[in-house]
Chain A
Amino acid sequence: MIYRQVFDVINIGLVILDEELRVCYWNRWMTMHSGIESKDIIGSPLLGFFPDIDTKYFNRSVRSVFKFGSFVFMSQKLHKYLFKFEKKVSGFQHMQQSVTIGPIKDKDNTVEHLFIIIQDVTEMAAYERKLHDLNIKDGLTGAYNRRYLETRLKDEFDRHKRYCHALSIIMFDIDHFKAINDTYGHQCGDFVLKEVSTTALDTLRVNDTLARYGGEEFCCILPETTISSAMMVAERLRKNVESQENRFANTSAKVTISLGVSELCEITDTHEKLLKKADDALYKAKREGRNRVVSMSLI
């Protein structure tokens, strides 16, 4: 087949399978990335070489191509990749792929073969991820930014309200932060912000969200959490921050935090009210002498 000359130089992967999923064609791009020579794989079942591919999703996709003669578009966002090829690019361990599976019809319009086209989209996915992070994260602390917090809080609030699940938030603020900046300089202030943020991230669960709300103020969203559990998390957070050294250029800039906690209930029937209650509790903690946790039930 003279067209193979083209198929072997294009910068995409091309595989052709028969109904038993045996490989009928394997282009050079596939050899380059898999290390498997065309002569070694042709005639063999694909899944024997790539057992990872044998998923419910892949089998469903293949069935639908043979059954309907329709196409399957596997997006990188959802599936990351089909063939597990190593490629380390900014945070990705494997080549990110955009994959199309489609029918090859014979003269009678019956589908006895299918093709798989694999595009390497790792660089694009890395840029996209970088852009996405820039858009939602605070550059200094690595916590989320306020814009993301507001969107996320609204979504979580709506979801938890709909399913009548518990949802709490913690607002906290570094005590006397201005004094840190004035005494040790802004670089040290930035360092303290980063350290507090790291401690908070280490203290919270994976599903919790930490965002820098402004200046030295942070907010945590705790899904599926009642206020009594959130108070315990807040207390742990307070203790952890209090005990950290924050060593910066031979000085120890120890800090404490004040925290306010609120939960979704009848009086916090909007996400704005939930935030306001936590903020009010935080200010009560400040007024009462700082370095403490206050629940919305006390205001």
Chain B
Amino acid sequence: MEVNDDSTFSELEIDTLQEIMNIAFGQASADLAEVINVFIVLSVPSLKLKKAVSLSEFIGLEIGDLKNFKIVEQSYWGKSKGVALLAFPHEAELELIAMFREDTDMGFDSEMSDELDNEMLIEIGNILIGACVSKMAELLKDVVTFVPPRVISGEQLSEAFVENRFERESRVILLKTLFQIEGRELSGHLFLVNSLDSIHTLKDALRAFWKQYE
């Protein structure tokens, strides 16, 4: 595998990364079906290199009607640091909550209903994000640690969101996929943003992945 420039990815490396994501998400959705009895269709992920400062705007445009979206956000650390964003429209949010609530043995207190809905979303987000990121890490022979997720409204996805995590001018890898719950009108976006702090490690991992097929 030819690697010329150490500060960016070659086309082949990007293709490999995209392929890894594809396999990871395929495995994640199969395993999710087993764990939560719900089949989640994840579209072929697309991968882009972006400047951190342009992320919020880009993600905002991809989602479209941000005001009508809620986002579960979760940071994770492996060889590089990253953040996952799971965004879904309000209607999908209510249906998702209803779906998982059936499976959760508890009563709901109407006084706190908004807060509890958010807690439900956090748990759902944690499962979906955990599955996708862990599978990806497994293929890259990485070990990932997660922090508890939180819920933000679409409107809170401002520049500050990026500034707290990545250097404004630094480059990041952005992965985007659409998820859909089979048999239901329920879909949303999943974004994974990874820093390029340890591009060498990632390149090594890609090389190792490639070697399996040589």
Is B98 at the interface (CB under 8 A from chain A)?
no
In the complex, what residues of B have CB within 8 A of residue A67's CB?
Answer: 31, 34-35, 131
Give the total of A residues in contact with B, Cβ under 8 Å.
Answer: 25
Given contact pairs A73-B123, A73-B148, a sample of 19 additional A-B residue pairs in the complex whose CB atoms are under 8 Å apart? A56-B105, A60-B103, A64-B35, A67-B31, A68-B28, A68-B35, A70-B146, A71-B126, A71-B130, A71-B145, A72-B126, A75-B123, A77-B112, A78-B106, A78-B119, A78-B120, A78-B123, A100-B148, A132-B111
Sorting the interface of chain B by its residue count into under 10, 10 to 19, 20 to 34 or 35 or more gives 35 or more
Check A75 against B130 for contact (C-beta < 8 Å).
Answer: no
Check B106 against A109 for contact (C-beta < 8 Å).
Answer: no
Give residues 134-175 of B contacting A (CB, 8 Å): 134-135, 137-138, 141, 143-146, 148-149
16 contacts between A and B (CB under 8 A): A55-B105, A57-B103, A63-B35, A64-B130, A67-B131, A68-B31, A68-B134, A69-B144, A70-B126, A73-B123, A75-B122, A78-B104, A78-B120, A79-B106, A109-B138, A132-B111
Complex CA distance for A78 and B123, rounded to whole angstroms: 10
Complex CA distance for A69 and B139, rounded to whole angstroms: 13
Check A77 against B105 for contact (C-beta < 8 Å).
Answer: no
Give residues 126-174 of A contacting B (CB, 8 Å): 132, 136, 155
In the complex, what residues of B have CB within 8 A of residue A243's CB?
Answer: none
- In this complex, the member of A56, A71, A132 whose beta carbon has the largest number of chain B beta carbons within 10 angstroms is A71
Check B130 against A70 for contact (C-beta < 8 Å).
Answer: yes
Q: Which of A57, A70, A100 touches B133 (beta carbons < 8 Å)? A: A70
Residues of B within 8 A of A (CB): 28, 31, 34-36, 103-106, 110-113, 115-116, 119-120, 122-123, 126-127, 130-131, 133-135, 137-138, 141, 143-146, 148-149
The 5 A-B pairs with the shortest beta carbon distances in the complex, nearest first, are A70-B130, A68-B134, A78-B119, A73-B148, A70-B134
Give residues 41-75 of A contacting B (CB, 8 Å): 55-57, 60, 63-64, 67-73, 75
Chain A residue at smallest Cβ distance from B137: A69
Complex CA distance for A72 and B123, rounded to whole angstroms: 8
In the complex, what residues of B have CB within 8 A of residue A4's CB?
Answer: none
Tell me the smallest distance from the CB of B154 to a CB of chain A, in Å.
Answer: 19
Chain A residue at smallest Cβ distance from B113: A155
Asked, given contacts A63-B34, A75-B122, A105-B143, whether A57 binds B105 with beta carbons under 8 Å apart, the answer is yes
